[in-house]
Structure 1
Amino acid sequence: LGRLGGGDGGPRTSSFSLFSCQGCMLRGWVDLSSDKPHTVKKSIKYLEQGMQDTKDVLGLMGKVGSSRGSGGSRSETIRSCCPTILALPLSMLNSHGSSSSSRILEKDESNIDACQILAVHELAREGNITTVSSFQIQKFSLETSIVKEGPLIAPTGWTDQFLTVCAWQCGRHQVILRLVCSFIERTFRATSSYAHVATELGYLFILRDQVKEASLWYSEAMKLSKSGITWCQILEGHLEEAEHQLEFLKEVQNSLGFSLLASRKHKGEQEVTALLKEAAELHFSSMRALPLGSEYLERLDPLFLVCIAKEYLLFCPKQPRSPGQIVSPLLKQVTAILNPVVKVAPALIDPLYVMAQVKYLSGELENAQSTLQRCLELDPTSVDAHLLVSQIYLTQGNFAMCSHCLELGISHNFQVRDHPLYHFIKARALNKSGDYPEAIKALKMIINVPTLKMEENKKFRGPSVQPSERVSILLELVDALRMNGELHEATKIMQDAINEFSGTPEEIRITIANVDLVLSKGNVDLALSMLRNITPKQPYYMEAKEKMASIYLQTHKDIRLYIGCYRELCEHLPGPQTSLLLGDAFMNIQEPEKALEVYDEAYRKNPHDASLVSRIGQAYVKTHQYTKAINYYEAAQKISGQDFLCCDLAELFLKLKKFSKAEKVLKQALDHDFVKDIPSMMNDVKCLLLLAKVYKSHKKEDVMETLNKAMDLQSRILKRVPLEQPEMIPSQKQLAASICIHFGEYYLAEKEYAKAVRSYKDALSYSPTDNKVESSERDPVPSLGMMADLMFRKQKYEAAINLYHQVLEKAPDNFPVLNKLIDLLRRSGKLEDAPAFFELAKKMSSRVPLEPGFNYCRGIYCWHIGQPNEALKFLNKARKDNTWGQSATYCMVQICLNPDNEIVGGEAFESLVPESNSLERKESERHGVRTAEKLLREFYPQSASGQTQLRLLQSLCLLATREKANVEAALGTFIDMAQAEKDSVPALLAMAQAYSLLKQVPKARTQLKRLAKAPWALAEADDLEKSWLLLADIYCQGGKFDLASELLRRCVQYNKSCCKAYEYMGFIMEREQSYKDAATNYELAWKYSHHANPAIGFKLAFNYLKDKRFVEAIEVCHSVLREHPNYPKIREEILKKAQGSLRP
């Protein structure tokens, strides 16, 4: 009463038991709380009398309070208090309690209380089973205590609670269960009159899957508790006896027994789930108002709750929730049941795994992956966890990672291969990848695995499947056979499935699958007739209506009947999910106004549904009704007060380039008191990152401050998640890495390269490149790619190539990275290494050669090696693609206008071109211009930059005609473009080329000098190189070879494969009659033109001849003549002379 503030009633109460220990202790506490110093001094006498040489924790704490003036005595009291204070319930899972326990064990290694606290902490928080099972000293001390202290310790003391909690928290670990069983058996022998001890043993043997032994122990306790024997009867399949027993008992605590019995006897979903709900509510009602401690953990009984959750899952959807679909209420109930377990004991694998299943079925695939990652950290051999990870990748369409995870599971535990689900997942991945024969082979391996009926004995050993799993196997086999063209065999398997599951809940599912088989035979009317027979009261009615609607839309092209199917769904199954389906149907037929009416109606019924709110806003955005979208978001936010809408609204403002409004919305979301809960902190990080994105567009000076705030907050989250939500560690580390990448991008834009490198290294520390396969779910490609880009810009070609190589080893079909690598190999003079990466990509899938990205990369490669016709062929395959089409068209036009990569406007080599060859070239140029113009007529860019590029290409076509009127018209366009965008490299280069063709060399030189002073940038590298070469050409014509050589060296510095630079350097050496040096440069030009340019071959052979290297001259002549037999002058002027010079 004194501690609770009832000071006035304290002395009066203590008078009733003044001489008892408790009375003295209470009187001591009352005096201690007095304002009078002399009364406080007297409190120590009462406290010491109450303790009577014991170490009662309240007495010791009172002595600490009364020793305020004496530092030494107070410290001594605190030290003596430490072992006792461990018995307080709240200290059990507290990190301070565990550290105090460790300190106590250092002084007294046989201290049972400290061992108990550490054991529970290791089991519940850390999952260190080995550490717990190694407490041999505790085991010895406990056994000794039981023998010495007799029967009173086990049933009433802390030790009994500790053993129960350990059994509950060990996750069915057999070593721990065996140890606990041995302790409790010793207790029962000493206390055979206590029925609850026998009941406890019965439950422990159930956890050990020894049902017969459990039944024997429950029989010992039958007089006081008959629920246990009922559970054993259900698990052994004796359903009739269990039913009679339950009817006899009619006790509230047997709700789980009734629900288990109803489930095993194929009762309806509503009956079973109602009983399960009642069982869970009764279970949690016994824990209300309990503090976190031993009694709370004992009553929590995680494995009991997992059992309820698993029974619920039997009636949950078997496939993940699709976007927009409402989460099953049953899944929400399972989440509510498991949340207390996962929060208190995050190291138990069974609750974590079931929670991962719930997240997977709820469509939260990334959260499910994080939870499974935690499961595999606790137990890398978990078969179920490896299989569920593979299923998630299969759902995401990542078939390569799905197969990889299956193999990884086998490497940790060979039993994975014996699980039928392993073969099913493998077969499904093969089926989705188009490898139907292998999929059929894998499915036939498990087609004869026996089906385990619910009422069968759990002692059944060996591979088995549930009825629903067998149906999935059969239907997948039918689908694989159908896709492989084996319709007769598919029909036979389907008929077997119909016969086997007739009259079961799976019958309707088979009927719906049979529709696809009937459709493949062209019998549409029969398919519709089968679907019409499925009534609203039957399972899978919704799937049947969706399938029917699909047939009406795709086969009959009847929009009225298509919408009618969804209207019937809303009529028979009213609810948000069916309303969403109807709205989506209207969107599919391009009637967004009607879709929004349906969405709004659904929203009014369920204004707090986050997915529905977001979906409506997205619908407005998709229909380009941006003002309505903004008004809707703002109104919904005021009505429902949902903060997540702030980000959606801010992203919309950002898309519309309304930066000030986006900033205002995000600042309002961040304007709140200091938050401590992890979800709120995560939401703030998201808002801060979005705010940094806004600032990047209009307030660059505030970007760093915002990113620093986000990083500080994320660092706090990373410190807390290991203890509170360890399954979120991977995703939160990935987010920290992305923040570091934002820093790197900012520093890169500011040309602070050293800081950028440091930021990218920080990113890699959160998402390392040498990840083990278990953690490879976090894609390191973005950070690796950014690091490689940075190395590229700093001309550290080897480092960049290595990083790109790592990316492509992880993802050979990452074509944007492959495109960058080809450019990098060209600039580093190693283009011959590129074909190996094409082969690597081909090995990934047989469909890779059909991918637009792959063909684009092949086209660019062929262009660089001097094969323009092959390049056009590959680029044409990418021309219609949304991602690659614009770049492909640009490259094709460039090839058509200048297939040999000549210097437009350059005249240094003009006098060396034979007249006949010049005429042929003019005809080829005219044909190229016509082709380029045709390509541009089919080019419809959507972006502003694309429109600018189209205008540039159209003018380049005019320039390529070399007709004065056309060139002047093109020049006018180039001038307008240069005025609209100052320092535009493509526009200035095109102006210089036009001036050169018009023989206005001084004006051309002026523009080119401007470009010579421009900083090198990767995006403009090719145009800058062309400008340097054209200026070098002008200098060569004027005899300024030193200025020309400086520009040519710059070209080679940034592009070691620049054959034109080597050709010009050879030309300069030749003019200076240094034939040996000229030959050296022409050799490099010949090498990097990939022996495709006969003019370079001619010059090389000529300089070999001049340098008296006759054999090399002859070899080059033959090489040129093999590809160009009629190439002028080379035979007469070089080959014959070289051959003649060799004769004696």
Structure 2
Amino acid sequence: QGLVLKGWIYLTSSKQNAVKKSIKYFDEGMQDTSDIFGIMGKARYFMMQQNYSSALEAVNQIIVTFTDFIPALILKMRLFLAQQDWEQTLETAERILCKDGANIDGHQTLTVNYLSRLGKLDSASLQLRDFIHSLKTKEPQNAEIHLQKARVVSRLCGKNQQILQQIYGFIEYSYAELASPDACFANELGYQLILQERWKDASVWYRTAMELDENSIDAMTGIIWCQVLEGKLEEAEHQLEFLREVHQSTGKSPVLIYLQAVIASRKRKNEKLVTTLLNEAAELHSSALKDLPLSIEYYEKLNPLFLINIVKEYLVFCPRLPLSPGQIISPLFKQVALLLYPVVKAAPGIMEPLYLVAQLKYLSGELENAQGILQHCIGLDPTAADLHLLMAQIYLSQGNLKECYHSLELGVSHHFQIRDYPLYHYIKARALNKAGDYPEAIKILKEIVSSHVKKGDSKRVCGTRSTTSEWASIYLELAEALQLNGELHEATKIMQDATNEFSGTSEEIRITIANADLAVHKGEVETALSMLRHVTPNQPYYTEAKEKMAQIYLHMRKDKKLYIACYCEMCEKCPGPHTSLLLGDAFMNIQQPEEAVKIYEEAQRKNYLDSVLVRKIGNAYVKTHQYNKAVNYYEVALKMNEQDFLCHDLAELLLKLKKFKKAERVLSQALNHDFVNDLTSMIKDVRSLILLAKVYENIKKEDVLATLNKAFELQHKILKRIPLEQPESVPSQKQLAALINIQFAEHYLSHKDYKQAAKSYKNALTYIPGDSKIILKLAYLYLEEEDLDSCEYQCALLHRDEKSNEATTMIMADIWFRKQKYEQAISLYQDVLEKSPDNFSVLERLIDLLRRTGNLDKTTFFFKMVSKQSTRLFLEPGYNYCRGLYCWHMGQSNQALKCFNKARKDTEWGQKAVTNMIQICLNPDNEVIGGEVFESLEEEESNLDNKQEAAQHGIRTGEKLLMEFCPCSQEGQNQLKILRNYCLMATKDKNNVEKALGVFVEMTQKEKESVQIILAVAQAYLILKQTSKATIQLKRLAKVNWTLSDAEELEKSWILLADIYCRSGKYDRATEQLKRCLQYNKSCSKAYEYLGFIMEKGQASTGAAKNYEFAWKYSNKANPAVGFKLAFNYLKNKNYVEAIEVCHDVLKICPSYPKIREEILEKAQAALKP
């Protein structure tokens, strides 16, 4: 026992060496016994060393033997709290209170939970009564314990007056009734009254503390704080100087430095001075938390309310409008975030820091994150008007005016006085401006401006006085409204008033920048530049002024040198990472990434850990197509600085470069670590698993589902914890959960498992309900499945979403087509084209629809309609692609090639154009590849040598085109392989065809359900005269449901199967396949030609003539063989005039066509002679 006691003495020593020795004495003292105090000592030692697993093991050893030993349970509760495991912390607290209903630590923990985590202030107030009662019961005479235990509550209650009064009353009672006069109590009571905004009463307590201890720094600081809060800045500054002189040896206090910053800010001193002081105060305050685990002591030292005060002082110098995409975030935002995030993480139930994070996210342009936090805040207190005002601003920035008005109304319904806030009217006026109701916006803004009492605004905005920045925004909004309403003279007058009003304030330069904007609007560019040149580096908004100048030089003067010169001057006058980033980005904007990289690298040498710079350098290498350099750079950066995003950026780059094995290695390495339970690491792992699943889609398809399941399970755990620990991340994490489900769906789709794919898309919608992109994917899936009713239902959901309107229209047109409501389908496409005639995707689909409905001749109307809109339309690749498609379907192969050639270099249309060109080169006459029914007849009727020579030329041209076919996607790579082997098949050489067949068979192993590949296999078998093997493949395709994506291949397969049936005399089966072709393509001339052949075989010359008539019509009278058969059947049916007309048409396109003149034309003419 002596050794155990010695261990405790060493453990409680202030010397670290002594503490480390304590474990030795505990171990020695417990060699032959299980001394409870020895085990407790070991547990405390392990806890101090943050070895929580060993500490828990020791505590559990006690609890198993001594189940009612409360100190062990209290230590266990603290251990769980240190591990941030609130669930088990609360469970243990309840267990303690079951054994000891008045336990102080149990009640304290429950109170802290209500305040810090749950934000349930009413429940916290009730729990606080029990907590105070337990203190009075267990420690009736111990005033010091009362102060020590109760103090944390005031730090976490978010200035809730009821709770503050309860705590103040209790500490005052302890001081008055129990304690001897003590400065510590008086100082705490003073601070409690500052929190209650009773500054005069607070200063009385601080003076009492001074009387009790004239050297009390806290008392002197408290007096100065009260003076600052009462606006007595001169007295406060004098006292502060005196205090700093007298107590130089006592070290710096974060509160004193904060007060120094506040006084400097109120006296409008240099922004840099104020922010430097705030940085120092924040750093000093945060240093007290270093290495502290989550505990009651941590919460007390965290003191969120003090950090909030520092944050508010920073925000005075932050921009008040959200950043536009691409704008660089102010360094002050980063500093504010560093202060707020630990508070929000440890105490997500305190609303004010959450509100400030939401404000920060809003100003940083992260609107969705800001919304997520505000939703959580509204859940904590739906009556807080400030929340609804900020939500209205977010909706306004998103352009959602309806929800903006709704949020303003909610704010008014909860707090009617909000109508007195200038901010309320400002938001409303901005919404009206955006809606184009300028007169009403002007009326509201003029009323606010006229009610603005110069230098003495008594109205309050968001619980504080309206800031100079907010008033400046009101003036600027009014000027903009007048400008938009065409009242330039009035706008100029308002800007003059604003110049006078804000002269000498921090907003003066902002007004100057707005005046420059107005000058540019009037065409007075030199005046604008002159105004901006006068802004000096020591003035606020200097950076913004220089950026505005740069924009004028770039966009108005088209002078890139002067544009860059503005950013170079910024770097020279205000050197630092922020201005270096701006200069680098400026070089990127004018397409000079090499120069940008130099600037970024120079900035990184000064601050090599800056993650923003690392990412920008990597991106710059990628933009300049220096992919290997980018990969090497990321790899080196990863070794120097193991940041998660670097690993992910590198993996994504490797994925793009198709270096799948290397990407797998990078991600596997990132995932190769011990079990983690912190959210940041879990979120990183989910991202890694999502990327790994994408990698496996290319190299290990069998591992995709297992990897996605791991990601989803981990994401499920994150979503359970995120609302309390990181509420601002709720929307982004829900998006990630949806993304995993979308990845599941896409995997199932690639295996044609439509049922599972639909289920995954529906799961995704549970995380982001109403997401138009997912609903659109689901609609496409149902369309693919031919579930038209479900597809139509999804389209109905998308009806109001303007962004998806076009895609929805196209799907609906497909539905009408499949329901054989052709007029409705064409009408829908026409509506879209009338609104956006340059939407060539719609024109492409419309051409296909017109062809399938047998109305291809109507296409010319739509070409005329879109060409009326622009004379330059003929130069557009999309337009030429559509013209080529039309010509190809009309049998005008040469014209089609010319049109496709004009589109083949385009990034969007080029790949499809080249694919079509190769197909035309290999099969210019649209013959049935592998078909034999018409082969012998055509060979007799044409010049075989010429035909073979043309075929060889076509193959050579196709091979040349293949050389410029450089697809990026896996689908494109497959297409390239198929086309290359079609070129081999086109030679009809046995070795080449067998080689192509081998490739196709190998491809079917990976793509078992690919219609295109199965058709290619069948065609190869037929060229090799292996008809039975071809039939097996074609019968497989006969069972496949028709889909638009496979329409062309399915049509070819059905015609090929019909050809085989015709050869074996199975005309009924052939007819079935041909009618199926015509069901989905009424312009299928080949189907009509085969039907004509079948009719001829059945001696039904009238029916044969009818089918050949359609075949002739839909081949655009371009196939002389069809013309010959039609004329022949007309002759048989004694339709001599029609026979003569067709003969003339054939001879126009092919004057030397054999036999038609003597066998049909002359006989028909002779038959007509009397």
TM-score by length of 1: 0.72
Partner of 2:159: 172
In the alignment, is the contact (CA less than 8 A) between 2:567 and 2:582 conserved in 1? yes
Equivalent pairs counted in the alignment come to 983
In the alignment, is the contact (CA less than 8 A) between 1:171 and 1:350 conserved in 2? yes
1:334 corresponds, among 326, 329, 336, to 336
Distance 1:607 1:243 in 2: 40
1:234 corresponds, among 218, 228, 233, to 228
Partner of 2:278: 276
The one-letter code of the counterpart of 2:525 is: V
Distance 1:1040 1:758 in 2: 43
Distance 1:43 1:222 in 2: 43
Residue 986 and residue 67 in structure 1: after superposition, are their counterparts in 2 closer, same or farther (change >3 A)?
A: closer
Q: CA offset at residue 212 of structure 1?
A: 5.4
Partner of 2:348: 346
Distance 1:289 1:308 in 2: 22
Q: CA offset at residue 1064 of structure 1?
A: 13
Partner of 1:404: 403
SS at match of 1:258: helix
Residue 820 and residue 353 in structure 1: after superposition, are their counterparts in 2 closer, same or farther (change >3 A)?
A: same
Partner of 2:623: 622
The one-letter code of the counterpart of 1:872 is: F
Residue 1064 and residue 468 in structure 1: after superposition, are their counterparts in 2 closer, same or farther (change >3 A)?
A: farther
**Residue correspondence of structure 1 range 34-45 to structure 2 within 5 A:** 34-35=29-30, 37=32
Distance 2:193 2:753 in 1: 66
Residue 554 and residue 736 in structure 1: after superposition, are their counterparts in 2 closer, same or farther (change >3 A)?
A: closer
In the alignment, is the contact (CA less than 8 A) between 1:737 and 1:762 conserved in 2? yes
Distance 1:880 1:610 in 2: 49
Distance 2:420 2:835 in 1: 33
Partner of 2:722: 721
Partner of 2:555: 554
Residue 492 and residue 648 in structure 1: after superposition, are their counterparts in 2 closer, same or farther (change >3 A)?
A: same
Residue 292 and residue 543 in structure 1: after superposition, are their counterparts in 2 closer, same or farther (change >3 A)?
A: closer
Distance 1:190 1:223 in 2: 19
Distance 1:113 1:435 in 2: 60
Distance 1:104 1:510 in 2: 62
- Does 2:648 correspond to 1:647? yes
Residue 715 and residue 500 in structure 1: after superposition, are their counterparts in 2 closer, same or farther (change >3 A)?
A: same
In the alignment, is the contact (CA less than 8 A) between 2:224 and 2:239 conserved in 1? yes
**Residue correspondence of structure 1 range 143-542 to structure 2 within 5 A:** 145=136, 152-153=141-142, 155-158=143-146, 160-184=147-171, 186-187=173-174, 190=177, 193=181, 196-197=184-185, 199-211=187-199, 214=202, 223=211, 225-247=219-241, 249-250=243-244, 252=253, 253-284=255-286, 292-320=294-322, 327-362=329-364, 367-392=369-394, 398-400=398-400, 403-405=402-404, 407-408=406-407, 410-411=409-410, 414=413, 415=415, 419-425=421-427, 427-428=429-430, 431=433, 440=442, 443-444=445-446, 446-448=448-450, 450=452, 465-542=466-543
- Deviation string, structure 1 residues 100-148 (Cα, Å, up to 9, x no partner): 33345567766665333212111111222232234486289469x48x9
Gaps of 5+ in 2: 14-21, 42-54, 213-218, 248-252, 928-937, 960-978, 984-995, 1001-1009, 1020-1026, 1097-1102, 1104-1109, 1111-1170
Q: CA offset at residue 309 of structure 1?
A: 1.1
Partner of 1:797: 788
Q: CA offset at residue 951 of structure 1?
A: 1.1
Residue 793 and residue 189 in structure 1: after superposition, are their counterparts in 2 closer, same or farther (change >3 A)?
A: same
Structure 1 stretch displaced more, 1019-1028 or 118-127:
1019-1028
Distance 2:9 2:210 in 1: 47
**Residue correspondence of structure 1 range 815-834 to structure 2 within 5 A:** 815-828=806-819
Q: CA offset at residue 743 of structure 1?
A: 1.8
The one-letter code of the counterpart of 1:942 is: T
Partner of 1:1130: none
Q: CA offset at residue 946 of structure 1?
A: 2.6
Residue 1063 and residue 668 in structure 1: after superposition, are their counterparts in 2 closer, same or farther (change >3 A)?
A: same
Partner of 2:576: 575
Q: CA offset at residue 4 of structure 1?
A: 7.9
- Does 2:971 correspond to 1:979? no
In the alignment, is the contact (CA less than 8 A) between 1:956 and 1:990 conserved in 2? no
Residue 835 and residue 1013 in structure 1: after superposition, are their counterparts in 2 closer, same or farther (change >3 A)?
A: closer
Distance 1:739 1:450 in 2: 53
The one-letter code of the counterpart of 1:236 is: E
Distance 1:695 1:289 in 2: 41
**Residue correspondence of structure 1 range 1077-1116 to structure 2 within 5 A:** none
Residue 854 and residue 173 in structure 1: after superposition, are their counterparts in 2 closer, same or farther (change >3 A)?
A: farther
Distance 1:742 1:429 in 2: 38
Residue 700 and residue 90 in structure 1: after superposition, are their counterparts in 2 closer, same or farther (change >3 A)?
A: closer
TM-score by length of 2: 0.70
- Deviation string, structure 1 residues 883-927 (Cα, Å, up to 9, x no partner): x9876654454456669xxxx8xxxxxxxxxxxxxxxxxxxxx8x
The one-letter code of the counterpart of 1:176 is: I
Distance 1:1028 1:6 in 2: 91
- Deviation string, structure 1 residues 484-523 (Cα, Å, up to 9, x no partner): 4332122111111111111222111211221121122222
- Does 2:917 correspond to 1:951? yes
In the alignment, is the contact (CA less than 8 A) between 2:535 and 2:542 conserved in 1? yes
- Deviation string, structure 1 residues 602-643 (Cα, Å, up to 9, x no partner): 232332222222222222222223333333333434444545
- Deviation string, structure 1 residues 192-231 (Cα, Å, up to 9, x no partner): 9455555544444443445555556656656352544443
2:112 corresponds, among 103, 114, 120, to 120
The one-letter code of the counterpart of 2:114 is: E
Distance 2:303 2:690 in 1: 42
Structure 1 stretch displaced more, 443-452 or 792-801:
443-452
In the alignment, is the contact (CA less than 8 A) between 2:903 and 2:913 conserved in 1? no
SS at match of 1:223: helix
Partner of 1:1020: 1045
The one-letter code of the counterpart of 2:906 is: P
In the alignment, is the contact (CA less than 8 A) between 2:900 and 2:914 conserved in 1? no
Residue 478 and residue 839 in structure 1: after superposition, are their counterparts in 2 closer, same or farther (change >3 A)?
A: farther
In the alignment, is the contact (CA less than 8 A) between 1:932 and 1:957 conserved in 2? no
Distance 1:436 1:954 in 2: 58
Distance 1:1035 1:87 in 2: 82
The one-letter code of the counterpart of 2:530 is: S
SS at match of 1:157: helix
In the alignment, is the contact (CA less than 8 A) between 2:262 and 2:313 conserved in 1? yes
Structure 1 stretch displaced more, 85-94 or 673-682:
85-94
Q: CA offset at residue 683 of structure 1?
A: 2.6
Q: CA offset at residue 347 of structure 1?
A: 1.3
Q: CA offset at residue 785 of structure 1?
A: 3.2
Structure 1 stretch displaced more, 728-737 or 713-722:
713-722
In the alignment, is the contact (CA less than 8 A) between 1:256 and 1:275 conserved in 2? yes
- Does 2:701 correspond to 1:700? yes
Distance 2:871 2:101 in 1: 75
The one-letter code of the counterpart of 2:230 is: E
Q: CA offset at residue 810 of structure 1?
A: 4.7
The one-letter code of the counterpart of 2:776 is: G
- Deviation string, structure 1 residues 26-54 (Cα, Å, up to 9, x no partner): x9x989963564x768999x99xxxxxxx
Distance 1:1028 1:90 in 2: 68
Structure 1 stretch displaced more, 941-950 or 508-517:
941-950
Distance 2:151 2:822 in 1: 68
- Deviation string, structure 1 residues 630-688 (Cα, Å, up to 9, x no partner): 33333434444545333323333332333333334334444444444433333333233
Residue 342 and residue 583 in structure 1: after superposition, are their counterparts in 2 closer, same or farther (change >3 A)?
A: closer
Partner of 1:598: 599
Distance 1:530 1:388 in 2: 33
In the alignment, is the contact (CA less than 8 A) between 1:856 and 1:878 conserved in 2? no
Residue 287 and residue 425 in structure 1: after superposition, are their counterparts in 2 closer, same or farther (change >3 A)?
A: same
SS at match of 2:1045: helix
The one-letter code of the counterpart of 1:511 is: T
* Structure 1 vs Structure 2 CA RMSD: 5.6
